[in-house]
Structure 1
């Protein structure tokens, strides 16, 4: 599996993994900021997302293996690994499966527990777009607004649009497989999955993805974990409170 990645800067390897239905471009602004701290930032598209290959197979075990293979091919060692939402689950699994690869782990607004499927409306909206003859991004936004009222969420999803041919827009993700495998997105870590390295969990104060009662489960899998809440941020905490998110990550890397 040859993953696509946008590589920025020079220095210590820092891999960033996007969430479900996202892509590496979602992290470009923050990625550039992290290069100022002396990192070589790898913004990776996970399988079935962005410019990475489309496959019928889709699971956290496979996506963790993809990251290990990407690091092996690019001779990356002792990496900083950051993942948001689905990317956070991939990052957790990678650290547990390949602990010697990951020096420090950063998880954004996701816990190692099971989550019931909750993307149905978004997937319906994207299916509608996929079946439409779209000729402009504005038209796509208008159509998607019938399903998704939040402007920020629509803009996040519409980053997937590209010009497939002159005058015709299409979506980059492998929508059919992601719909078919949507139950995989919520899968919990197994009881054997443990990473004892330095770990930061960041959660949004307005998000319900990580709850107080999840702290003990986080500690079971990540005994060295530190939990930090970013106030007034929702699930897209890195976009809503980019400055605080950035500072929290840099402080953790430098001081722990």
Structure 2
């Protein structure tokens, strides 16, 4: 049994494969808009990252270990060649997959993240999540009332609350909050590799986001020399949700130019 929870759409033999990888605190549902726009032309494999969604819990965060678990899944499914779309943390792990197993990866799309180290920027989110008394709340509205004391943005709270669920034992987060909090310093580290990935790579930046900046270009080209960058105007870090039509059009155009016909 795979340690990675996944779903496949629509599984037709002659279609090329695209893998979708979500970001921190997310799940495979986060990129469902892209999935719906891709299934006409591609088989789409969507996954929950380790320590997220319904995937297995680990003992420590590691880019290499996360990448390895996904590589093992791809091999088990007998997918000889894949293209990967990764957002934020999922983009960093997508980079690691391509760098560690370049023979498996046709091309890459990295959404609003660079292979660089970042300063901590989720302190308020962690404080808010830890403030929610899971043993006492009776609804998502209860959880939101605690979250909003630390997390002002309603859209961020709504995103986080998608990973709150209830079973017969009470309320839980789908993500492994203790591990993500403990290992956050590793999550924001840069990506290393001895050899670049020479496949076609597209970096897409949200205009209003500060995750992907001009000063990151040198590091990007060192690891991904055959890369290009595009910008989606009027959008932030959640570009695929804020401007889904433009984002999907950009990705489809890139795939049509880079994938074998």
User: What TM-score does the superposition give when structure 1 sets the normalisation length?
Assistant: 0.95
SS at 1:107 equivalent: strand
Match in the other structure for 1:198: 200
Alignment check: 8 A CA contact 1:80 1:102 kept: yes
Whether contact under 8 Å (1:116, 1:183) holds in the other structure is no
1:187 and 1:130, CA in 2 relative to 1: closer, same or farther beyond 3 A?
A: farther
State the distance in 2 between where 1:8 and 1:139 align.
Answer: 35
Is 2:127 aligned against 1:124? Answer: yes
Whether the 8 Å contact between 2:22 and 2:31 is mirrored in structure 1 is yes
Report the alpha carbon displacement of residue 134 of structure 1 after superposing the two structures with TM: 2.1
Task: Name the structure 1 match of 2:28.
Answer: 24
- Aligned partner of 2:5 in structure 1 is 4
Query: SS of the counterpart of 2:35?
Result: helix
- Provide the rounded CA distance (Å) in 2 between the counterparts of 1:179 and 1:99: 31
Within 1, Cα distance between the matches of 2:17 and 2:137?
39
**Distance (Å, rounded) in 1 between the aligned partners of 2:120 and 2:180:** 12
The answer to whether the 8 Å contact 2:135/2:171 transfers is no
Residue 57 of structure 1 aligns to a residue whose secondary structure is coil
Task: Please give the residue correspondences for 1:1-256 in structure 2 after superposition, counting only pairs within 5 Å.
Answer: 2-10=3-11, 11-36=15-40, 38-129=41-132, 131-165=134-168, 168-190=170-192, 192-256=194-258
CA distance in 1, matches of 2:25, 2:145: 19
Deviations along 1:84-135, one digit per CA (max 9) or x if unpaired, are 1110000001100000010011100011111122211101111122545222
Report the Cα distance in structure 1 between the residues aligned to 2:132 and 2:6, rounded to whole angstroms: 26
> Could you tell me how far apart the structure 2 residues matched to 1:138 and 1:43 are?
29
Please state whether the residue corresponding to 2:130 is helix, strand or coil.
helix
Q: 1:208 to 1:72 in 2, by over 3 A?
A: same
CA RMSD of aligned residues (A): 1.4
Offset at residue 213 of structure 1 (A): 1.6
SS class of match (1:163): strand
Q: Check the 8 A contact 1:7/1:40 in 2, yes or no.
A: yes
- Give the TM-score normalised by structure 2: 0.93
Alignment gaps of 5+ in structure 1: none
- Kindly provide the CA deviation profile for residues 188-242 of structure 1, in whole angstroms up to 9, marking residues without a partner as x: 1225251000100001000011111211221111011010011111111111111
Where does structure 1 differ by over 4 angstroms across 4 or more consecutive aligned residues?
none
Could you say if the C-alpha distance between residues 137 and 193 of structure 1 is closer, same or farther in structure 2, counting changes exceeding 3 Å? Answer: farther
Q: What CA distance in whole angstroms lies between the structure 2 residues aligned with 1:193 and 1:239?
A: 33
